[in-house]
Every structure is written in structure tokens, then in C-alpha cells.
Amino acid sequence: MAVSELRGAAAIVGVADLVSPTGELEGSLRALEVRAIREALDDAGLTIADVDGLACATSAGWAPSMELGEYLGISPRWSDSTITGGSSFEIHVEHAAAAIAAGLCDVAVVVYAANPRSSFKRGGSGYTSRQALPGLTAAAEWELAYAMRMPMGAYALAASRHMYEFGTTSEQLAQIAVDTRRWAALNPRARLQENITIDDVLSSPVQASPLHKLDCCLVTDGAGAVVLTSAERARTLANAPIYVLGTGTCHTHSMISEMPDLTVTGAAVSGPLAFAAAGLSPSEIDVAQIYDSFTITVMLLLEDLGFCAKGEGGEFVSEGVLAPGGSLPTNTTGGGLAYTHPGMFGIFLLVEAVRQLRGECGPRQVAGAEVALAHGSGGVLSAMSTVIMGTEATL
């Protein structure tokens, strides 16, 4: 099946996310997964009996979708346990849309849950910046031995290189955090809702130079789920379908020391693939949800996805284009910097993109949004996946 044939063949029909302004949620990982699935299916007007495809990247267990399927009492005929960090769920949507178009399944659920904040308070190991990211075992031998803080140290390297090559400033990075917080101030579910200034960002403690605390994402509990089905079936359900128009994926390295170019990510491949499949260009995106593990992540991805030229990200963001009222409304929940970030933020990008296209976002709604981009980043700028969605299946 040609990529062009996949455009609009599948649609997202249900979404849910579980977050709290406290940053904590009650319940086990499994309970959070089940609750997110139930809410997303209710949103779609479907039941667990309709589900014959399952994708899961929860870090517990070696085969997440298999273990979750057993718990749910279902026997999916399509399953995906791909884990690439924060981009896992965009990849799951890409895979699920292709599977649906090929007739491998009819209704697919993508789900994620993590509770690092509350589990640490209950005596769990939590997360420290001196440990390797899950799956990046080589980093423990070759990078952490040299006091590399993870993951902020990896992103600090990218930020330093971008500053060196292109003259990017800490003030320009801080503008991203300021604009993101303006969206969070409109979202009563966000963890951090107070507006901040560039001076606030620059006066917050340095975590890994040149990145300050307010350049870095949160650590919270959270869960989310997305339900997909065929375009034909989607048109019979309660919600207006949000069609998957184009997707693309690329991973370039595992350890940050092996990144081919610290200023260029795999989004330079995944973005053009997604735009080509969708038959669209960056100028036609009404609202963007771009992984914001750190402010430098957003800047690199804006460039690589084609919203501005390489090296011009600092100038591009400096006028508040990402903020409410800006020309490229971005991370309208408040993002990983202010809304929630349980470890893999990609599922929340998809949920918000769908809600924006449905017009369900209240004070933070982008007027007239018809085309949205959700871009996930996994590992240490390692694995990139882009999903373009729209309210119409055809050009």
C-alpha cells in the first residue's frame, strides 16, 4: 500500500488524559491505564469489546501490550509494544493507522501511564539525574562515568552547540518557557499556572549549563489514551473524526555522544515525510504540539520540521509566535514544561491536538483550527515521530 493511500484512511475517535494540578494521581500504573482506556472508549462511544488492536509503552514489564491485553481480558489481533521514549505514541499512531488501513485490526487503543512523582513519595526509587535512561544501558558505561547528568546534560550539549553555531541566546530559549506558561495559565488542569518572565527563567537555578530549571520539564504522574478506527467506521460514531493525514519516523542515535549533529534531529526526516504524505506544508499547520522536554528541544524541532530555517529558531521564537495569539500556537496545554510530564509526554501531544481540532479547549482554544501537528521526541533527541491530523480526510 502506497503512503498516499494511507492519507485519511484512519481516524482518531476517542481521547483521554489523566493529570492533576498537584502532579500526583491515585492508583497503580495498571489502574491508571485502565481508567484512561475506559475514558477514551467512552469518548469514542465504544467499549472494550470493540478493541482488537492494542499499543502500550508503559515502562513496567518486558511486553507491555501483551501484559495489558491479558489484564483487560482481550485478545488483540494487532499488538505493538514499541518503546522509543516520548515519541512512542506517535509511532503507535503511525503503526495503528497503517494496520487499520491494511485490515489488520478495526479499533486500536494506544495507552500510557506513569506515576514517578507519587511513587517516589511512597518510598519508590523515583528518578535521579545520575542514572541512565531506561534502555540506554551503553550510556551508563560511556557517559555517566564522566558525570553526565541525564537527561538534562544531553540537552545542554545540544543547546551549547546551537548557541555556538548560530548565536542563540538563553533569553531566546527562555521565551519558549514564557510562552508555554501563558498557555498553562489558561488551563486549570496544568501543574504550573503562574505566568513567568524571561528574568524568572534566567534567575532559576542552572541544572546543566546553559539550561536553567525553568528550561526543564516537570516530573509528574499522568496517563493518556487514544482510540483509532477506520475512516468509514469513524463517521458513524458520536465525535467528529480527526483524520490521520500523514506520519513520519526517524531515529538517529541512542547515546547523545553518538548524535551525528547536535543541532539536527531526526525530525528533519520525519517532518518532511509526514508533510509529504499529508500533502501539506508547515505554513498550513493551525496548531502545533511539539515535545518540550526542554526549551532547546522545541527550538531544534521547530527548525527541523520546517517552521523556520536551521539556525533561525532563536529569532523565530523571540517575538512570541508560540504564545496565545501568536502565528504558530504551540503546546496549548502548557506542555511538558508546565502541564504534565510523567516521563513520556507524546501521548498528551496527541490528545491535545485532537481536542483542539474538535474545538473543545475552552479559553485556550485556537479559533478555526483544522490541521494540527503532533511531534514526539524520544531518548536524548534520539527517536522522532511526526503525526499530522485534520478535520477533513481529503485535500
Residue 301 and residue 299: Cα distance in Å, rounded? 5
**Rounded to whole angstroms, what are the CA distances from 237 to 37, 44, 73, 242?**
17, 7, 24, 12
342: cis peptide before it, omega within 30°? no
Residue in 181, 114, 190 with CA at minimum distance from that of residue 330:
181
Yes or no: say if 103 and 11 are a contact pair by the CB < 8 Å rule: no
The 3 state secondary structure assigned to 208-244 is ECCEEHHHECCCCCEEEEEEEEEHHHHCCCCCCCEEE
Helix (H) or strand (E) holding 116: helix 116-121
Instruction: To the nearest 10°, report the CA torsion of 379, 77, 347, 303.
Output: 60
Residue in 155, 186, 191, 187 with CA at minimum distance from that of residue 173:
155
Active site residue 291: yes
Residue 93 and residue 115: Cα distance in Å, rounded? 23
Instruction: To the nearest 10°, report the CA torsion of 272, 284, 8, 324.
Output: 110
CB-based contacts of 19, cutoff 8 Å, min separation 6: 25, 189, 191, 220, 221, 222, 339, 340, 348
Active site residue 243: no
Both ends of the chain: CA-CA distance in Å? Answer: 19
Yes or no: say if 314 and 167 are a contact pair by the CB < 8 Å rule: yes
Residue 257's φ and ψ, nearest 5 degrees, are -70, -15
Residue 153, exposed/middle/buried by CB under 10 A (0-12, 13-18, 19+)? buried
Q: Which of 112, 155, 243, 339 is catalytic?
A: 339
Residue 217's φ and ψ, nearest 5 degrees, are -75, 170
| Residues known to be catalytic | 291, 339
